[in-house]
Amino acid sequence: MRRPPHISPRNSEQVHRSTLGDRLRRPGRPRRLRMWAAALLSGVLAAGAVQAGPASAQPSAESVARALDLPQPPGGDDVRVLIFHASAGAESPTVDAGIAALESIGRSGPAQQRFSVEATADASVFTDGRRLGTFNSVVFLTGPGDVLDAEQELGLQAYLAAGGGFLGVHDAARTEPYSDWYGALIGARPAEGSGAAAQRATVEVGDRVHPATASLPQEWSRLDRWFNWETNPTGDVHTVARVRELDYKPGESANGPDHPISWCQDYAGGRSFYTAMGGTVASWGEADFRDHLRGALSWTNRVARADCQATVTANYAAERLTPPNQQGQHDQIGEPHGLVTAPDGRVFYIGRGGGPAGAPVVTDWNDPDIGKGEGEIHVWDPRTGEASLVGSLTVFGNKGGGGELIKTEEGLLGIELDPRFATNGWIYLHWTPHSEIDRETRTAERRVSRFTVNRSTGRLDLSSEKVLLSWPVQIHSCCHAGGGMAWDSKENLYIATGDTNSSGFTDGYSGNNPEPVFAGTSFADARRTSGNTNNLNGKILRIHPEQDGTYTLPEGNLFTGEETAEGGGKTRGEIYAMGVRNPSRIFVDRQTDVLYAGWVGPDASQPSTTWGPAKYESFTAITKPGNFGWPFCMGNKQPYRDRNLPDPDQPLDWYDCDAPRNESPHNDGLVKLPPVTPVSIWYAPNGGGPDYPRDANGIPSYDADEEFYRLPWARGGGQAAMTGPVYRYDENRASDIKWPQYWDGKWFIGDFYDGVQPRHAVLLDPATTGSGTPPTHAEPLKEIIPVGQGGIRNLMDWKFGPDGALYVLDYGRGFFNSDGESALWRVTYSGGAPTPAASDLVRKGD
């Protein structure tokens, strides 16, 4: 539920109304109840409109509004703005600059947005209902300290209750320090001592639809006095812009990567916008800052509508949709591994192949049933609210936990529905059939198959299988199977495959040890797979499925398969992206056909001056085919050290990320590889976007003492990247639970783990998307998509449904099996429509 307007966001356990009696007794200069307040209180007492309270009788804001005879809402088509600039001390030089700027803003710009202003330091305006009611908005250019007495604050409360607009600028957050009501109207209080000196910093403009920010650059460099906050208002208000602390010195009270600087809220019946910018005289002359204020006033003046509920935590609800399985069964869910939503709202989700927790497994290679499991497809139906089993495939994928030579990540790995699923019932599954394993060589066949779901029974027709694509994988050692699939707007199917490589034998650095081999197959050298132009593992493939169950190759992949370089026959035309390690999840935004991918990195917890970077989880947006580095380079083109036979423990030269060479004895593809494309996001245990000083050859120092972080909001530890969707808002979608337009175009990225690891919606600059440029803004999601006990702790997959709600798979708390916390969840929104109501807009006919 939304916080009641009289509750302070900093202490919601104590409901404290700023009554007349409270205000008279609060610290500060003494107060005297004037004739106006006495008469008003007498009148509302007689009318029976008093709220009972422990301290004294208090008239409600609504009753005060009636007593003041305030129009509801205040102001009219002749838009007027009151600038109130009282101060308990010396007036700031920014006040005159602010008044002049607001007068200029009101006279300029689109005619629809223009307004007239009246400036005053006389607080009696708040007890003059006839005068106050003529203003569409009140702007506070106030300074620190008390500037309103008790009845004047009641008048301001009444103005808001009648539907008035409020804009607070910079020092307005230090006004009325003893009033909880006013503090909540602003949204946060500055930390003591912050904002003393002007510093240049970058403002991240995350809201691309609010009129206050829609026209601003995504990254806005400016000089100002930057407040820190006693309590971060994120989640209680809707933040439209943040300041990037990485760019300046925020001091000891720093708020960290999530540092709101401008926000709005529907408050106490009215509309409140606050910006902490405007702390210097020069600010008021900036064109972008004036546009920011013009847009904010368009909303508070009731000229334009805006959504100021979009990131308020209380407007989101996470609901577990599937109960725990019955003992020893998978009646609700298998070992969660992927989901997809159907046009009719059904959610199909798969279990990889692990059994219920504690169920026996076969790990003996002499046993024909080694690793045998059931990859299950379930469906949750919104019409019934229940889940059922669609079908299962017998897979190699059930060996339980253990060491690299025991466990496996093979099984049922990915699911997609045909673009015409509603009429043809076709479903695509990425899997490892148990029937095709070779126990002598410990290899298997991976395949992508098309099946049909019977429309009358809702069951998977196993006899309908069409094998589109198959290729060999080694299964002697775990891990990195990949699995995600996605369609673009041209009905090309993208298939993510892992490097099928051991995590061992390199101390957690580059997976490039050629020495370990079983039955002729290397299992610790990803140059055989990810770095190999002639191998389908460690790739993102792109094919065009045909009606007959075959596929063709679309134009524009990384290779055609017909290259003659180095003798020919050394490329595969299915490869769209190479050099990826374990891309469990991918997503294609069909509005732009940008491919979004994330993959799990190696295991080293610290960088090595000998071998290279620590483990990096990677996320990136891909706009064209390319090589993304593994196992040669990571992050923003940070190279590893080469190694080879006869002594893999002897470091050789650093890889050249601009001209990598694959000189592994297990490489049957090209030696000369495409240049490495940097990724958009990378993070390690110590922080996000780690980087180092580089020498004349561009080689990082990899000295932990010299490490710095380009993306401080992203941090790892135990870490496993799980890319999510890009949200697309549909105004024509009839749904009362759909996420709002604020999220449109934002890319959801998260980690399997729910501690310090990222769970964010990020914004990329369309002009640089695909070049490896980091996001311009990152919105934290851990309060909206809850973490911790009782929340979604182990994120496995997430997609938006046709109803605009977010569907999420929680893996559960074990590994290689399902347990009582394995579940499908749904996250819905209930914040309502933008405000003000369309009927309350002024100048509707202009």
Ordered by where they begin, the domains of the chain are 20-190+270-312 (no CATH), 318-829 (2.120.10.30)
* Greater model confidence, 408 or 10: 408
Q: Does 36 score more than 90 pLDDT?
A: no
For residue 93, is the peptide bond before it cis, meaning its omega torsion is within 30 degrees of 0?
no
Mean pLDDT of 714-719: 90
For residue 846, the model assigns a pLDDT of 55
User: What is the predicted pLDDT for the residue at 56?
Assistant: 43
pLDDT for 59 equals 73
DSSP string computed for 345-365: S-EEEEE-S--BTT------T
pLDDT of 806 > 90? The answer is yes
| Residue 58 confidence (pLDDT) above 80 | no
Average pLDDT over residues 658-678: 98
Q: What percent of the chain has pLDDT over 70?
A: 93
Q: Does the pLDDT value for residue 8 go beyond 70?
A: no
Model confidence at 97: pLDDT above 90: yes
Burial state string for 58-90 with b = 16 or more CB within 10 A and e = fewer than 16: bbbbbbbbbbbebbebbbeeebbbbbbbbbbee
Confidence of residue 628 (pLDDT cuts 50, 70, 90): very high
Show the tokens assigned to 102: 């607001």
Assess whether pLDDT exceeds 50 at residue 41: no
Q: Give yes or no for a contact between 524 and 474, defined as CB atoms under 8 angstroms apart.
A: no
Predicted confidence band at 448 (pLDDT cuts at 50, 70, 90)?
A: very high
Q: How far apart are CA 338 and CA 583, in angstroms?
A: 12
Cα(744)–Cα(735) distance, integer angstroms: 16
Q: Per-residue pLDDT for 780 more than 90?
A: yes
The residue written with tokens 């600010």 in the block is: 283
Cβ 688 vs Cβ 775: under 8 Å? no
Task: For 214-255, give the DSSP string.
Answer: TTS-SEEEEEEE---BSS--BTTBEEEEEEEGGGS---TT--
Residue 15: its pLDDT value, please?
Answer: 27
pLDDT, average across residues 278-295? 98
Residues 635-644 have pLDDT tens digits of 999 999 999 9
pTM: 0.93
Q: Indicate the average pLDDT of the chain.
A: 92
Compute the average pLDDT of residues 335-349. 97
| Mean pLDDT calculated for residue range 453-462 | 96
- Once rounded to an integer, what is the mean pLDDT over residues 313-317? 98
Q: Is the pLDDT of residue 262 over 70?
A: yes
For residue 19, is pLDDT > 90?
no
pLDDT of residue 29: 33
Q: What is the pLDDT of residue 700?
A: 98
Residue 53: band (very low, low, confident or very high) from pLDDT cuts 50, 70, 90? very low
**pLDDT at position 136 over 90:** yes
Closest CA to 241 of 194, 270, 209: 209
pLDDT band at 845 (very low <50, low <70, confident <90, very high): low
Instruction: Judge whether 523 and 443 are in contact, CB under 8 Å.
Output: no
Peptide bond between residue 73 and the one before it cis (omega within 30 degrees of 0): yes
Q: What span, in angstroms and rounded, lies between the C-alpha atoms of 778 and 770?
A: 17
